[in-house]
Amino acid sequence: MTTRPRTIGFYGLAGRESVHQMLQGTLRYCDEVGGFAVRDFRARETFDIKPSEPPPWRGRADGMLMFLPRPPGSTDRQVADWVLSGGVPTVGVGADVLDRRIPCFHIDFASIGKLAVDHLTQCRCASYLYYGCQSCTGSSRRAEAFRAALAERGLDLVEYETSTDYDGTFGDEATALGEQELAALLRKMPQPIGVMALNDKFARAACIVCDSLGLAIPEQVKVLGVGDMVVARTHIPALSSICAPGEEIGYRAMRSLHKLLDGGRGVARVTQVPAKELVARASTVGVVPANGNLAAAIEYISRHACADLSVAHVADAMGISRSSLEKYFQRVVGHSPGREIQRVRLEKAKELVSKTQLSISHIALTVGFKETAAFSKFFTKEAGLSPVAFRRQQG
Average pLDDT, the chain: 87
Question: Could you tell me which residue, 103 or 168, shows the higher pLDDT?
Answer: 103
Kindly give the interhelix angle for 337-355 and 311-318, rounded to the nearest 10 degrees.
Answer: 110
What pLDDT is attached to residue 144? 96
Q: Does pLDDT of 293 surpass 70?
A: no
Is the pLDDT at 249 greater than 80? The verdict is yes
Distances in whole angstroms, Cα of residue 180 to Cα of each of 139, 143, 213: 20, 20, 11
> In which band, very low, low, confident or very high, does the pLDDT at 164 lie, cut at 50, 70 and 90?
confident
Nearest CA-CA partner of 25 in 43, 10, 45: 10
The lowest-confidence range among 21-25, 49-53, 273-277 is 49-53
What topology is assigned to 6-107+246-274 in CATH?
A: Rossmann fold (3.40.50)
How many other β-carbons are positioned within 10 Å of the β-carbon of residue 374?
11
Residue 216: which pLDDT band, with cuts at 50, 70 and 90? very high
Strand order in the sheet with 63-66: 36-40, 6-11, 63-66, 90-93, 104-108, 270-274
Q: So what's the pLDDT on residue 285?
A: 78
pLDDT at 202: 95
* Alpha carbon distances (Å) from 210 to 4, 152, 390: 56, 28, 54
Domain ranges of the chain: 6-107+246-274, 108-244+277-286, 292-394
Span 101-119, average pLDDT: 93
Q: What pLDDT score does 332 carry?
A: 63
For the beta carbon of residue 250, count every other beta carbon within 10 angstroms. 28
Q: How confident is the model at residue 15 (pLDDT cuts 50, 70, 90)?
A: confident
Overall average pLDDT of the 227-239 stretch:
90
pLDDT at 39: 92
Mean pLDDT of 6-25: 88
pLDDT at 120: 92
Whether 108-244+277-286 and 6-107+246-274 are alike in CATH topology: the answer is yes
Looking at the predicted structure, is the pLDDT value of residue 170 above 70? yes
Q: Is the pLDDT of residue 316 over 60?
A: yes
Q: How confident is the model at residue 199 (pLDDT cuts 50, 70, 90)?
A: very high
Overall CATH class of domain 292-394: mainly alpha
- HSE-CB of 351 using CA atoms within 13 angstroms: 8
pLDDT value, residue 1: 47
Nearest to 375 by CA among 389, 309, 357, 367: 367
Q: Is the pLDDT of residue 260 over 50?
A: yes
The confidence band for 258, taking pLDDT boundaries of 50, 70 and 90, is very high
Q: Regarding predicted confidence, which is higher, 285 or 263?
A: 263
Higher pLDDT, 385 or 290: 385
Mean pLDDT (whole number) for 337-352: 91
% residues pLDDT > 90 (the chain)? 48
In this structure, CATH architecture of domain 108-244+277-286: 3-Layer(aba) Sandwich (3.40)
Q: Across the chain, where does the E strand assignment appear?
A: 6-11, 36-40, 63-66, 90-93, 104-108, 127-133, 158-162, 193-197, 221-226, 240-243, 270-274, 277-279
- What pTM, to 2 d.p., does this model score? 0.71
State the first-to-last Cα distance of the chain, in angstroms, to the nearest integer: 28
Whether residue 64 has pLDDT greater than 90: yes
Note the pLDDT of residue 46: 60
pLDDT at 181 over 80: yes
State mean pLDDT over 5-16: 87
